[in-house]
Amino acid sequence: MTGNMQKIRFFRSRIPTFACVPGCHDCCGPIKASSDEMARLPVKSDAEHDVAMENLSCPHLGEGGCQVYEDRPIICRLFGTTPKLACPNGMHPDAMIDTRIEAKIDQFFREVRHVLV
């Protein structure tokens, strides 16, 4: 396992979870994710990416919701857990992300190559 994947696993384990509004996908727009995270997701065609961009959506969002929920990128996990990425419906965990972990994630984002999802 690469150093980046170890960091990703560490961050994922420390991002709090919460229940979203059923059927809401307001935070499932185009995002940037690390190359390491994208390598774990199913490859989508250029056409699927184009349609998602036209809809300001994610190519991994299906009719039933996120098709890669368990492997979704860190940025997706952060939505609603920090005031920087507030849920548009006001949902959030009982305790927001630890600011020290958030700072480490911010540093990670600055250090790794990201691609548009």
Reading the chain (117 residues) residue by residue, the pLDDT tens digits are: 678 999 999 999 999 999 999 889 988 988 999 999 999 999 999 999 999 999 999 999 998 899 999 999 999 999 999 999 999 999 999 999 999 999 999 999 999 988 888
Rounded to 5°, angle at Cα 60 from 59 and 61: 95
- At residue 64, φ and ψ (nearest 5 deg) are -90, 5
CB burial of residue 97 (10 Å; 0-12, 13-18, 19+): buried
The pTM for the full model equals 0.91
Give the number of other CB atoms < 10 A from CB of residue 90: 8
